[in-house]
Chains A and B, each alone.
Chain A
Amino acid sequence: MAGSPPVQLALVQHQPVLGDLQANLDWCCEKISAEAAQGADLVVLPELSLTGYFLKDLTPETAVRLDGPELERLITATGKAAALVGLILESDRFSFYNAAVLISNGAIRHVHRKVYLPTYGIFDEQRHLAAGDQFLAADVELAGGASWRIGVLVCEDLWHPSSAYLLSRAGVDLLLCPSASPGRGVGSGEGELGSATSYGAMLRTYAELFTVFAAYCNRVGFEDGFHFWGGSRLLGPDGQILAGPLDDSPGVLHAQLDRGHLRRARIAHPLLRDERFDVVQHQLDLTDDD
């Protein structure tokens, strides 16, 4: 439905309190409710917005379950709108995932468990977390009607182009990219952090080549000396920045998603139509003997 009303998007650059689940839950519920009351159809919060990022041994202490009271509260706070919230998800077998949960209209619509857990440099996620193993899309009705196919990539997932490719194969219209990216690299000539330059390049590439909307929501604040640089933004399906980027302060980026824009971009550049998934499939299936 290219003629359906635009989706009002709110990207919330949250500064969670490290390890304080209740305080962050209160804050997130309030913020989601307030944004929804002001007309937001989809509210996106950063990676691990319920817990903070460098949790280390706090990981199991700040975990929630899908059937737990925390999700109940988030579902209530979201009401008839939709929201994406980052949290530590505990499984029945006591594994802990870095997850993003997509809620809409009174139910959990999709759970993405971060697949790529960075364990190098400043990162130590595989010490504390279990890895997800799939990239799936979910259909969510937004703005009172149109169904949007949404895929989620959490932070490091973005650094593997196959992640975005698989979601493109699944037919997504909108990539949601919650992030807790610590800033590093002040020597670049770009006038911005090296990490910001990298994310900017990846987001632009994915948005343009997969002709999708890409919403990046990074957190802000400091943890143990690490600076989270914000920079939340919305890119259109031609790769252009439609809103943002924000700076590194707490704030909300409001933007609109128009299905007509998606349609026009895919007419102008029918890259999805022409994509040879069969070639990819065939080649990945080849063994050394072939």
Chain B
Amino acid sequence: MTDLSINTDLVSGILIGFVREEVLKVGARGVVVALSGGVDSALSARIAVSALGKESVTAVAMPYRESNPSSLEDARLVAEELGVELLVIDISLQIDSYFAAFPEADATRRGNKMARERMSIAYDISATRAALVLGTSNKSELLLGYSTLWGDGAHALNPLGDLYKTQIYQLARHLGLPQRILDKAPSADLFQGQSDEADLGFTYADADQILYQLIDERRSPGEIAALGLDPVMVQVIWDRVRNTQFKRQPPLIAKLSARSVGQDFRYPRDWGH
């Protein structure tokens, strides 16, 4: 097993600086974080509080009537610990109204719709406060494509996107997040009793080892199997990474002119800031 541990002082310093500078230099006043009750969003909010102060962080919990009630309790706990304002916006009405027309919709379809509803609300609230939406997707999720396109995958800034899930826990412990948040099983909470690791069919601890070898070390699946990691799981994960590449990209634009948005019109995102 490769030691994936990080220097938490160094990393937290960089991430706090990242959020502070990228928010303030574009003239935004703060951030909006959708708190799910899980460790990722709690950590994002925690970093934002250190970066901007608790008055500049708005937390939003957006339960659906079938969400696990403990998720909302955990979101409240995090907001209280961090001392940030928490808005609770129940999304049951709009979700049920929409799916009344599609009673056959399965759990995935319903879960994705909820994730996009939450994104839409976070953006609406951010506009009322001149704030940016802060993302909570970690590197494991991003690489595995375990997110809803334009749902939880949509945000302005993401301090966590280059940390594997196992590293998220390490940093969360370091920054003193409540033990209850650290102890719970990771869940997208798209339906009751959902578990990331049951959905994926492997643990984040195992997946992170393989992802690290594939991505950071650029080893081929064959080379990784030679290290003693399960070759079937290596292939499953590599296929997942390849098949979800579109989720990590902006939309394709058909090239026509001499200079095209997204292709060879390449001003930096921080243009003018």
- Give the interface of A toward B (CB within 8 A): 61, 121-122, 182-187, 194, 222, 224-227
* From B220, B252, B262, B264, contact of A121 by CB (8 A): B264
Shortest CB-to-CB span from A225 to chain B, Å, is: 4
A225 vs B257: C-alpha distance in the bound complex, in angstroms? 12
**Chain B contacts of A226 at CB under 8 A?**
255, 263
Tell whether A186 pairs with B263 under 8 Å between CB atoms, given A224-B252, A225-B252.
Answer: no
**Chain B contacts of A184 at CB under 8 A?**
255-258, 260
Verify B255–A122 contact, CB threshold 8 A: yes
**Chain A contacts of B256 at CB under 8 A?**
183-184, 186
* From B220, B255, B258, B259, contact of A225 by CB (8 A): B255
Looking across the interface, which residue of chain B has its beta carbon closest to that of A57?
A: B218
A224 vs B252: C-alpha distance in the bound complex, in angstroms? 6
A187 vs B260: C-alpha distance in the bound complex, in angstroms? 13
A and B contact pairs by CB, cutoff 8 A, 26 listed: A121-B259, A121-B264, A122-B255, A122-B260, A122-B263, A183-B256, A184-B255, A184-B256, A184-B257, A184-B260, A185-B257, A185-B258, A186-B256, A186-B257, A187-B257, A187-B258, A222-B254, A224-B252, A225-B252, A225-B254, A225-B255, A225-B262, A225-B263, A226-B255, A226-B263, A227-B254
The total number of A-B Cβ pairs within 8 Å is 34
Q: Does B253 contact A (CB under 8 A)?
A: yes
A195 vs B252: C-alpha distance in the bound complex, in angstroms? 21
A187 vs B256: C-alpha distance in the bound complex, in angstroms? 9
Best-surrounded residue of B255, B258, B259 (most CB of chain A within 10 A)? B255
Verify A194–B258 contact, CB threshold 8 A: yes
Tell whether A122 pairs with B264 under 8 Å between CB atoms, given A184-B258, A185-B258.
Answer: yes
A227 vs B256: C-alpha distance in the bound complex, in angstroms? 8
**Chain A contacts of B252 at CB under 8 A?**
224-225
Minimum-distance CB pairs A-B, first 9: A225-B252, A121-B264, A122-B264, A186-B256, A226-B255, A225-B253, A122-B263, A185-B258, A225-B254
**Chain B contacts of A183 at CB under 8 A?**
255-256
* From B255, B258, B262, B264, contact of A227 by CB (8 A): B255
Tell me the interface secondary structure of chain A in the complex.
loop
Looking across the interface, which residue of chain A has its beta carbon closest to that of B251?
A: A225
Looking across the interface, which residue of chain A has its beta carbon closest to that of B242?
A: A19
Shortest CB-to-CB span from B263 to chain A, Å, is: 5
Looking across the interface, which residue of chain A has its beta carbon closest to that of B259?
A: A121
Shortest CB-to-CB span from A203 to chain B, Å, is: 21
Looking across the interface, which residue of chain B has its beta carbon closest to that of A19?
A: B242
Looking across the interface, which residue of chain A has its beta carbon closest to that of B256?
A: A186
Beyond A186-B256, A226-B255: 20 further Cβ-contacts under 8 Å? A61-B220, A121-B259, A121-B264, A122-B260, A122-B263, A122-B264, A183-B256, A184-B256, A184-B258, A184-B260, A185-B257, A186-B257, A187-B257, A222-B254, A224-B252, A225-B255, A225-B262, A225-B263, A227-B254, A227-B255
A194 vs B257: C-alpha distance in the bound complex, in angstroms? 9
Which residues 218-273 in B have Cβ within 8 Å of A in the complex? 220, 252-260, 262-264
Which residues 178-232 in B have Cβ within 8 Å of A in the complex? 220
A124 vs B263: C-alpha distance in the bound complex, in angstroms? 11
**Chain A contacts of B254 at CB under 8 A?**
222, 225, 227
**Chain B contacts of A187 at CB under 8 A?**
257-258
**Chain B contacts of A121 at CB under 8 A?**
259, 264
A222 vs B260: C-alpha distance in the bound complex, in angstroms? 16
Looking across the interface, which residue of chain B has its beta carbon closest to that of A194?
A: B258
A121 vs B259: C-alpha distance in the bound complex, in angstroms? 8
**Chain A contacts of B258 at CB under 8 A?**
184-185, 187, 194
**Chain A contacts of B264 at CB under 8 A?**
121-122
Looking across the interface, which residue of chain A has its beta carbon closest to that of B262?
A: A225
Which residues 30-77 in B have Cβ within 8 Å of A in the complex? none
A209 vs B256: C-alpha distance in the bound complex, in angstroms? 32
**Chain B contacts of A182 at CB under 8 A?**
255
A182 vs B255: C-alpha distance in the bound complex, in angstroms? 8
**Chain A contacts of B260 at CB under 8 A?**
122, 184
Shortest CB-to-CB span from A138 to chain B, Å, is: 34
